[in-house]
Amino acid sequence: MDAPITIKAYCNQLAIQKGLDPGGYAGSFDDAILIETPLPWRKDMMRQANPLPQQVIDLLMLWLMDYQQGKGYPHRPLVIAPDEAYSVAGFRRVIHYTRPQIAFGQYDKIEYLVPIAEMGALIWALYQDRDALMQFESYRQPQADAVRDILVCTHGTIDAACAKFGYPLYNMLRRHYANEQLHVWRVSHFGGHVFAPTLIDMPTGHYWAYVEDAQAHQIITRAGDVLAMRGHYRGWAGFDSGFLQSAERHLWQLHGWRWFDYVKQGEILSQDPNTQQPQWAEVRICYLSPSGESGTYEGRVEVRRYIETITTTGDSHTYHYPQYHVIHLERVS
């Protein structure tokens, strides 16, 4: 008798079947570092040197210690795969993004093309020894600072869904949309493989979920019906709260694609005192458009329900994902 056929239950497919809304699930960060690193990428590559330099591992350990001491983890370390069009033999690309101020619309970007042997020292200098940065100035690529970077997670050793669904998305974007002003990268795990195929649009910091060809076209062109994209937008990295991210998505749906060009600032005015699983928050979001239009919205966002589903392909562990719902959001000035 033939053995039964086992069908892999990909975490993202189960999430879609259960109607998991990605709104409020963007990773938030104050800075991000993209490090060009050859494939394959081990699951533990950010814990042991090679292929990453020891200076990078030391830096990651410092950040981990800070996190364990309650200082937070405002960084987003990622590796990007070499590309025949972008890479240079003997050199590695390092892209550094930083939050410019409290109210902002996109991250500041600095890009370097540095000899492989000096990459670790450059990254250490960016965070721990700013006085040493001048010695790397000749490796700066100022013409690349204005380039838009599309980061597609294809990190299959973290979750199989990112390889199966993420790589075809990367390949399509790379072939059809990449140009001198838009680079498309294969990137390591940045969280949320349950939303695969998933990508980050930088320097604006927008996270996207369940991206197929039709959604990819709208993301790249920032055109078309925003209502059709609601269930694909995870949120904006500039806000560190799911309640704020959900409210920000609501305002994007109201203002349209031009909303992504606005400078924004958000805050939690009050929140459910249940710190483990807050069920509501009163929020405020202020904005300023490129034309000078400004405004403030205040409102209430609640968790209306939870969806339980596996977090990783091939793992039985499940998580109850809060589903955020904007109760009201009104312009107050």
Could you report the per-residue pLDDT of 71-97, keeping only the tens digit for each?
999 999 999 999 999 999 999 999 999
Task: Determine the number of helices (DSSP H) and then strands (DSSP E) in the chain.
Answer: 7, 13
| Residues in a beta bridge with 309 | 319
- Which of 93, 198, 207 has the alpha carbon at shortest distance from 153? 198
CA pair distance 264, 331, nearest whole angstrom: 14
CB 199 within 8 A of CB 212: no
Ordered by where they begin, the domains of the chain are 11-240 (3.40.30.10)
| pLDDT at res. 276 | 84
pLDDT in tens, 110-158: 999 999 999 999 999 999 999 999 999 999 999 999 999 999 999 999 9
| pLDDT at res. 8 | 65
| pLDDT at res. 7 | 46
| pLDDT at res. 18 | 97
Q: Which three-class secondary structure state does DSSP give residue 24?
A: coil
- Which of 263, 155, 255 has the alpha carbon at shortest distance from 205? 263
DSSP-derived pairing of the beta strands 75-80 and 31-36: parallel
The phi and psi torsions of 172 (rounded to 5 degrees) equal: -65, -45
Q: What amino acid occupies position 54?
A: Q
**Residue 39 token pair:** 């494939």
- Which of 250, 246, 239, 263 has the alpha carbon at shortest distance from 302? 246
Q: pLDDT under 50 in the chain at which residues?
A: 1-7
